[in-house]
Amino acid sequence: MMQLQDILFSQGFGTRRICCGLIQQGLVQVGPQALVCTDPTELIPPEGLSFRVQGETWQYHAQAYLMLHKPAGHECSQKPSTYPSIYTLLPGPLRNRGGGAAAGVQAVGRLDQDTTGLLLLSDDGKFIHRMTSPRHHVPKVYEVQVKHPLDDRQVARLLAGVVLEDDPKPVRAAACEAVSEHHLRLTLTEGKYHQVKRMVAAVSNRVEGLHRSAIGSITLPPDLLPGQWRWLSAEEVLALTQKTK
């Protein structure tokens, strides 16, 4: 059981004082019957709780696991230098969950501002580490549009391993397929800086467009449009974490 004000605070609706005020003003409705609750200290079981705050419906989540279809022209940073932050695409409560200096969900890895596609976000530090640690070898699939026609030699080199400027150890693709003359499907299990672009450059080609289509067992749904987000299901989170233990 949790006090209603603590539930709202944990879900990112502001400080406890703000959450208390929302409740006392009758702006919070609880449960399937959407009953108005004006007592901030009322004890409520949080699991499975549906509630409305200022007319918007929310579901209680002890921890947040999201997918976002990242559009081009957005930076994966809380303090972007040039382009808008991906976090502006999310509602306020997701950006403020938990309070404190490290409030809100965080991107699980990063995509360049001109790269589109699947991005996971969470406020679960262990999940983020599991998804990004090189030792877990989480596969990430990229759809790469290249400038010059592809050939078997380029694909073979990417599979065998190419040497990047700052790393004498060859970097290999886990899978590589020329889908068409200018479309390369590349699967990586590590995440070095600008890795796809540098690997493609190492085989004398150039990336013209880059889109991440899958992470682990999760594929970007065709109906999730650029800039849109949704919660991961419990089954999706379990499938991701089971493969990386």
- pLDDT level of residue 53 (50, 70, 90 thresholds): very high
Residue 100 has pLDDT above 90, yes or no: no
**Measured distance CA(176)–CA(8) in Å, rounded:** 46
- pLDDT level of residue 244 (50, 70, 90 thresholds): low
* Digit-coded pLDDT (tens) for 102-113: 679 999 999 999
Is 151 designated active site? Answer: no
- pLDDT level of residue 5 (50, 70, 90 thresholds): very high
pLDDT given for residue 160 in this prediction? 95
Give yes or no for a contact between 190 and 134, defined as CB atoms under 8 angstroms apart. yes
CATH architecture of 65-134+218-242: 2-Layer Sandwich (3.30)
CATH classification for the domain delimited by 2-59, as one of 3.10.290.10, 3.40.190.10, 3.40.50.300, 3.30.930.10: 3.10.290.10
CB neighbourhood size of 230 (10 A) = 12
Q: Write out 74-120 in H/E/C secondary structure.
A: CECCCCCCCCCEHHHHCCHHHHHCCCCCCCCCEECCCCCCCCEEEEE
* Digit-coded pLDDT (tens) for 137-185: 899 999 999 999 999 999 999 999 999 887 788 999 999 999 999 999 9
Residue 20 has pLDDT above 60, yes or no: yes
Residue 115 has pLDDT above 60, yes or no: yes
Could you give the percent of the chain with pLDDT greater than 90? 84
Give yes or no for a contact between 93 and 58, defined as CB atoms under 8 angstroms apart. yes
pLDDT given for residue 96 in this prediction? 92
Mean pLDDT across 196-219: 96
**Measured distance CA(44)–CA(50) in Å, rounded:** 11
pLDDT given for residue 222 in this prediction? 96
Residue 192 has pLDDT above 60, yes or no: yes
Rg (CA), the chain: 21
Closest CA to 40 of 15, 14, 16: 16
pLDDT given for residue 211 in this prediction? 98
* Domain spans, the chain: 2-59, 65-134+218-242, 139-215
Give the Å distances, CA to CA, from 38 to 28, 73, 141, 231: 8, 43, 49, 29
Decide if domain 139-215 falls under CATH 3.10.180.10: no
Closest CA to 92 of 44, 149, 53: 53
* Choice among 39, 112, 123, 124 that is catalytic: 112
**Measured distance CA(86)–CA(95) in Å, rounded:** 11
The yes-or-no answer to whether 65-134+218-242 and 139-215 have a common fold is yes
Residue 245 has pLDDT above 60, yes or no: no
Mean pLDDT across 196-223: 96
**Measured distance CA(30)–CA(53) in Å, rounded:** 9
CB neighbourhood size of 216 (10 A) = 20
